[in-house]
């Protein structure tokens, strides 16, 4: 029951977050998720991937956290049964800064809190080293974010849409040649971008 609720809330969150802005731009969320190839970057437990797979089999999720992916594997039969699938949707372990896809592969990319979680491990390790008076090296979080946004741009098809929702409004992303269709920066950071 909890998993069904989690999957339902994930799809509702996407709808609540992006439906009105997309309609104002002349797009329909249902049409976007029903047609073409979709990538969810930083898919975590794959709840949105599973929910969107109901209307589009051409969806893929990627996440770099091996613990999350192991949890998905352990519970894949239960997740699949919720939706009547024979197997759980296509979720790969991949670094968003080095995606294993060809250029121009996806019509729609979705990321939720991808950039807010970037560098968490490095920050925790740096704090631990500081508390133990050990030397540490903290890689640039902005360099990682830059590499990720470049890679998402690379795999998005020309004219494709990128729905970016993050819970951090203090950072700035280099948007490359993305066209900003809808920016909203407040407590949450919501962008609709087009290549």
Q: How confident is the model at residue 112 (pLDDT cuts 50, 70, 90)?
A: confident
- Residue 139, Cβ density class (10 Å: 0-12 exposed, 13-18 middle, ≥19 buried): exposed
pLDDT digits (tens, 9 = 90+) for 1-41: 333 333 333 555 777 777 788 888 888 878 888 888 999 99
- Whole-angstrom Cα distance, residue 173 to residue 153? 12
- pTM score over 0.75: yes
Residue whose C-alpha is closest to residue 94's, from 47, 48, 62: 62
Return the CATH number of 2-194, one of 3.40.50.450, 3.40.50.150, 3.40.50.970, 3.30.565.10. 3.40.50.150
pLDDT digits (tens, 9 = 90+) for 60-94: 999 888 787 777 767 666 666 665 655 556 888 89
pLDDT digits (tens, 9 = 90+) for 142-162: 778 788 889 999 999 999 999
Could you tell me which residues come within 8 angstroms of residue 20 by beta carbon, excluding any fewer than 6 positions away? none
Percentage of residues in the chain having pLDDT higher than 90: 17
**Residue 90 C-alpha from the chain's centroid:** 14
Locate 184 and state its tokens.
């909203």
Domain ranges of the chain: 2-194
- Whole-angstrom Cα distance, residue 16 to residue 18? 6
Asked if residue 84 lies in contact with residue 44, where contact means CB atoms within 8 angstroms, the answer is no
**pLDDT (mean) for 107-127:** 76
* 28-37, 40-49, 97-106, 167-176: segment of lowest average pLDDT: 167-176
Mean residue pLDDT of the chain comes to 76
């Amino acid at each position: 029951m909890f998993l069904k609720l989690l999957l339902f809330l994930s799809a509702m969150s996407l709808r609540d977050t992006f439906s009105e802005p997309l309609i104002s731009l002349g797009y329909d969320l249902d049409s976007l998720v029903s047609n073409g190839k979709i990538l969810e970057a930083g898919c975590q437990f794959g709840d949105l991937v599973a929910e969107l797979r109901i209307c589009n089999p051409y969806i893929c999720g990627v996440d770099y956290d091996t613990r999350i992916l192991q949890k998905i594997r352990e519970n894949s039969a239960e997740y699949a049964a919720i939706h009547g699938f024979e197997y759980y949707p296509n979720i790969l372990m991949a670094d968003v800064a080095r995606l294993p896809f060809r250029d121009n592969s996806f019509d729609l990319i979705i990321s939720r809190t991808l950039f807010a979680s970037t560098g968490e491990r490095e920050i925790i390790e740096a704090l631990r080293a500081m508390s133990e008076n050990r030397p540490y090296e903290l890689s640039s979080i902005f360099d990682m974010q830059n590499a990720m946004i470049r890679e998402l741009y690379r795999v998005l098809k020309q004219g494709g849409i990128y729905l970016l929702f993050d819970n951090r409004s203090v950072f700035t992303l280099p948007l490359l040649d993305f066209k900003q269709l809808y920016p909203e920066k407040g407590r949450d950071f919501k962008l609709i971008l087009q290549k």
